[in-house]
Every structure is written in C-alpha cells, then in structure tokens.
Amino acid sequence: MSRPEYSAPPEIFYNEKEARKYTQNSRIIDIQVQMCERAIELLLLPEDQSCLLLDIGCGSGLSGSVLEDNGHIWVGMDISQAMLEVAVEREVEGDLIMADMGEGVPFRAGVFDGAVSISALQWLCNADKTSHKPVERLYRFFSTLYASLSRSARAVFQFYPDSSGQVELITQQAMRAGFYGGVVVDYPNSTKAKKYFLVLMTGGNMPLPKALDTESNDVHISKRERLKNARGKSLKNSRNWILEKKERRRRQGKDVRADSKYTGRKRSSKF
Ligand SMILES: C[S@@+](CC[C@H](N)C(=O)[O-])C[C@H]1O[C@@H](n2cnc3c(N)ncnc32)[C@H](O)[C@@H]1O
C-alpha cells in the first residue's frame, strides 16, 4: 500500500475530508491511543505528577487526549490546519499551534518536561519543496526540540520508517543535535504489531527500555491496569472523569461550563 507521505505534503494530504475520516475511524483511534500510552510509558515521567508535554504532529488530538487522560498538560503543534480544526471541535485541553516541525520547535528553552510524537516523524524525511533538505530539516527540528526540553527530559517518537536507511538518517540527526538514546522495536517478529519508538534522552546516556514481545505484553497490560486502579482513576467518559477533566481545565484558567445534573450524560456524538 502506498504511504500517505509519498502522495502529498502533510498540509495537503490532511485536508478537511481526511482529517474527519481519520478522527472518526475507530481502528485508527484504538491504535493511536495504544501507541501513545506506550510512548508515555517510555518517557519515564515522575509518578503521580502532572507534566507539561509537547505533542509534535498532534493532528486532531487523539494522542493529546491520551496525555490529558493521564493527567498531563500538553501543547500540540501540527502543520495541518484541518487536523487542528478538528482538535478544536473535539474540545481538547491542549493549546494548539500551527507550525512545521522542520522549521524548528518555536518554544522557550527548557519549558517542556517531555515530548511525544505519534505517527508524524517519517513525514520529515520527505522533500516536498525544492528548498527542503531532509537532513537539514531533521537537524533543525531535533536541535530546537533539545533546547525546549528541561534537562533530563525525554522525547519519544512512534514512527513508520520506510527502510533501515531512514532509521539511520533520523537517529544520526538526533544524536548530532545532542540527544542520547536510540530505537526500541516492539513486537519485532510480528508484521502487524511491530512498532518503532525512537527514545531520546537529554540527561546523559541511559540504557534503552526493554522492547515488548508477545509474552511481556500481557504483563504490561495488567500492570498498567493495576496502576490505574491503584491510583483510583475514574473510568473514561464517566461523570467523575468529566468532572475531573473540567476541574483541570479550570485550574488552567480556561473557560469551562458550570457543572450540572446533565454533566456526563450520554449524548449521541461529538460531531
Ligand atoms: C498520522 S497523523 C497523527 C496525529 C496524532 N499524533 C495522532 O496520534 O492521531 C500525523 C500528523 O503529523 C502531522 N505532520 C506531518 N508533517 C508535519 C510537519 N512537518 N510539521 C508538523 N506536523 C506534521 C500531520 O499534519 C498529521 O496531523
């Protein structure tokens, strides 16, 4: 199957129609959620602490919703206006900016406690304009990302490389920008479940986390469930979950509708 990044530049490919189709597809939602959960795990954030995270190529906010469900505050950047508009419609909690990651990460030094990027990095390996030099764009992106992270913060990218050459190209530019780390490949022997995670570290060279395989996955899921239960988190979309989410938004100074007896009642659809 032809890859989307070969068909058109991202801001063209993710037009209004594609942005809606993408965000309403339950299979895509499931996969993006799972991959973002795994990326958060690989970030090794301090336990029970709300962190400020950057979501690179945040799209319509599927990955961002996972960050907020895990109690984090996030800022999303994306090049596609249509994807960002769907994120706004979905009333995500994150602040959103329209920006091309190849132009660099436009934030103050040291502001983020971590960064995630789900299914976006491979787009940077393409040259969509004659002025685009993938090596230069990757280097500018990684060096400005490095600067925007607090020391000892990590950045985790789930991405779809088209070859081992692309993995090498990306890793080389990340290391050149000052990061330590490398690629963790989950389920390396499964064509369907195989996933690439680039794990980048700022605070010195630490061993890479262990990749998942079929056996350890069961342990991984039950451990995550246990942790959630232990923390007493509310079930997603329940009244309590919505009340907690609204409270977080109020603390961020956002305009939030008052709670009522209707809060958390089932509605037909968000769209
Ligand atoms: C497959 S979507 C993933 C969106 C979101 N992370 C998720 O998990 O649903 C990839 C996103 O990467 C964005 N993207 C691609 N190239 C980009 C670039 N150069 N700068 C910023 N965003 C980019 C696209 O616009 C698209 O929204």
Confidence band for 120, pLDDT divided at 50, 70 and 90: very high
Percent of the chain with pLDDT over 90: 74
At residue 240, the pLDDT reads 74
**For residue 118, which atom of ligand 1 is closest to its CA?**
6
Q: Taking residues 4-9, report their average pLDDT.
A: 94
CA of 56 to the centre of ligand 1 (A): 7
The answer on pLDDT for 230 being more than 90 is: no
* Structural domain includes residue 258: no
At residue 224, the pLDDT reads 54
Q: Is 76 in the pocket of ligand 1 (CB under 6 A)?
A: no
At residue 1, the pLDDT reads 59
Q: Taking residues 216-220, report their average pLDDT.
A: 48
The answer on pLDDT for 268 being more than 60 is: no
Give the CATH number of the domain where residue 196 resides. 3.40.50.150
* Structural domain includes residue 147: yes
* Structural domain includes residue 145: yes
* Structural domain includes residue 15: yes
Residue 87: other Cβ atoms inside 10 A: 25
Q: Is 104 in the pocket of ligand 1 (CB under 6 A)?
A: no
Instruction: Pick from 58, 98, 103, 140 the residue to mutate for probing ligand 1's pocket: most ligand atoms within 8 Å of its CB.
Output: 58
At residue 234, the pLDDT reads 55
CA distance 13 to 173: 26
CA distance 80 to 12: 8
The answer on pLDDT for 225 being more than 70 is: no
Q: Is 78 in the pocket of ligand 1 (CB under 6 A)?
A: yes
Domain count, the chain: 1
Confidence band for 215, pLDDT divided at 50, 70 and 90: low
Q: Taking residues 108-136, report their average pLDDT.
A: 96
Confidence band for 229, pLDDT divided at 50, 70 and 90: very low
Q: Taking residues 251-265, report their average pLDDT.
A: 77
User: Residues 162, 145: contact at Cβ < 8 Å?
Assistant: no
Q: Is 58 in the pocket of ligand 1 (CB under 6 A)?
A: yes
Lowest mean pLDDT among 60-64, 194-198, 224-228: 224-228
* Structural domain includes residue 243: no
Confidence band for 271, pLDDT divided at 50, 70 and 90: very low
Which domain does 164 fall in, by range?
4-233
CA of 119 to the centre of ligand 1 (A): 7
Residue 47 structure tokens: 């336990």
At residue 267, the pLDDT reads 60
Lowest mean pLDDT among 14-28, 63-77, 132-146, 215-229: 215-229
At residue 87, the pLDDT reads 98
The answer on pLDDT for 233 being more than 60 is: no
Lowest mean pLDDT among 11-25, 53-67, 137-151, 251-265: 251-265
Q: Taking residues 156-163, report their average pLDDT.
A: 97
**For residue 13, which atom of ligand 1 is closest to its CA?**
25
Closest C-alpha to ligand 1, atom 8: 63
Q: Is 118 in the pocket of ligand 1 (CB under 6 A)?
A: yes
* Structural domain includes residue 119: yes
At residue 270, the pLDDT reads 45
CA atoms within 13 A of residue 256's CA, in its CB half-sphere: 19
CA of 192 to the centre of ligand 1 (A): 21
Q: Is 63 in the pocket of ligand 1 (CB under 6 A)?
A: yes
CA of 121 to the centre of ligand 1 (A): 8
Q: Is 96 in the pocket of ligand 1 (CB under 6 A)?
A: no
> Rounded to two decimals, what is the model's pTM?
0.85
pLDDT digits (tens, 9 = 90+) for 31-78: 999 999 999 999 999 988 999 999 999 999 999 999 999 999 999 999
Instruction: Pick from 33, 78, 129 the residue to mutate for probing ligand 1's pocket: most ligand atoms within 8 Å of its CB.
Output: 78
Q: Taking residues 21-27, report their average pLDDT.
A: 97
* Structural domain includes residue 245: no
* Structural domain includes residue 246: no
CA distance 43 to 60: 22
